[in-house]
Amino acid sequence: MADRVIDVRGLRKSYEDVEAVAGIDLHVDRGEVFALLGPNGAGKTTTTEILEGFRPRSAGEVAVLGHDPANADRSLKEQIGIVLQSTGVDPFLTVHETIDLYAGYYPHQRATDEVIDVVGLTEKRDARVAKLSGGQQRRLDVAIALAGDPELLFLDEPTTGFDPSARRNAWEIVKNLVSIGKTVFLTTHFMDEAQYLADRVAVIAKGSIVSEGTPDTIAGRDRMQATVRFRLPDGAPAPPDLGQIAAGDRAWIVRTDDPTRTAHEVTAWALAGGFSLEGFEVTQPSLEDVYLELTGGEEGPG
């Protein structure tokens, strides 16, 4: 068996008569980025907070780094870093002081200035926390979680509110952590984030895991029909029968099990006719397409 950092079997959590988590199994191996995806209210946050030790469970077995998080062992907390969705810091401390404060709780501390550098807050080192922008405060959250040099990092929607370049930077931070052997448990509602970062993803809906796999193969994504899109130039004849679904004026969409063959047929026909196709593209279903199908498209990811 691989080195299991998180091992969950038959996890259940009921609030009064509502079953928020209805018996899930999942595991995360060392050095892996695992993403838990699901709509709001699907049981994602409940599951994450049970793993982090904030919430007791109703039934099932949970091991995080070999500890039961329900026991709130100090030695477990010394090995994990948590970025929650909404946790504040004292507004009157500076960035440096804040990270310093939290680092002091851990036996293996990273140098504060190094952590500040990792999250790109060097220029704000001596600024009061109250003066940071939303994105900068989020980076501070990540910095605080890194201050104790954790083996396992929980990231609950870490890039919400980031601009595109800040998201890229955050992703690089996570990639760097994984490259030095850390393990990341991620929840996100950005499918491109899961696609880019995660080694494995699981989709949770209505308290149960409905699918699990790599971002590229989850729910048979790699075996789904590809889509070929193109537009015909003025005066071009209709293309041969490719099982196409016409969409709009001269735009064509073709679904195919064999994109290589279909693309070849389309381009060969166009070259033979002596015209070029506009906006020609071949796409596999995205993780988002798969996700929406698995979760019934309700509410949108969250």
Query: Which residues contribute to the site for another protein (CB under 8 A)?
Result: 52-54, 74-75, 77-78, 80, 82, 84, 86-90, 92-93, 97, 101-102, 104-106, 144, 148
Give the nearest distance from C-beta 84 to another protein in angstroms: 7
Nearer of residues 138 and 200 to another protein, judged by Cβ: 138
Cβ proximity to another protein, 146 vs 218, nearer residue: 146
Distance CA 35, CA 38 (A): 10
For 126, counting Cβ atoms within 10 Å of its Cβ (0-12 exposed, 13-18 middle, 19+ buried), the class is exposed
Residue showing tokens 């929840």: 187
> Considering the complex, what minimum distance in angstroms separates the CB of residue 104 from another protein?
6
- What sign does the CA torsion over 168, 173, 176, 177 have? negative
Shortest distance, CB of residue 143 to another protein, whole angstroms? 13
Closest CB to another protein among residues 54, 196: 54
CB of 165 to another protein, least distance (A): 27
248 Cβ neighbours under 8 A, 6+ residues apart: none
CB 127 within 8 A of CB 136: no
Q: Which is nearer to another protein, 108 or 261 (CB)?
A: 108
Decide: helix, strand or coil at residue 35.
Answer: strand
Closest contact distance (angstroms) between CB of 197 and another protein is 22
Q: Name which of 74 and 223 has its Cβ closer to another protein.
A: 74
Q: Which is nearest to 210 in space by CA: 288, 290, 300?
A: 290
* Cross-strand pairs, 254: 228, 244
Nearest-angstrom CA–CA distance, 151 and 115: 15
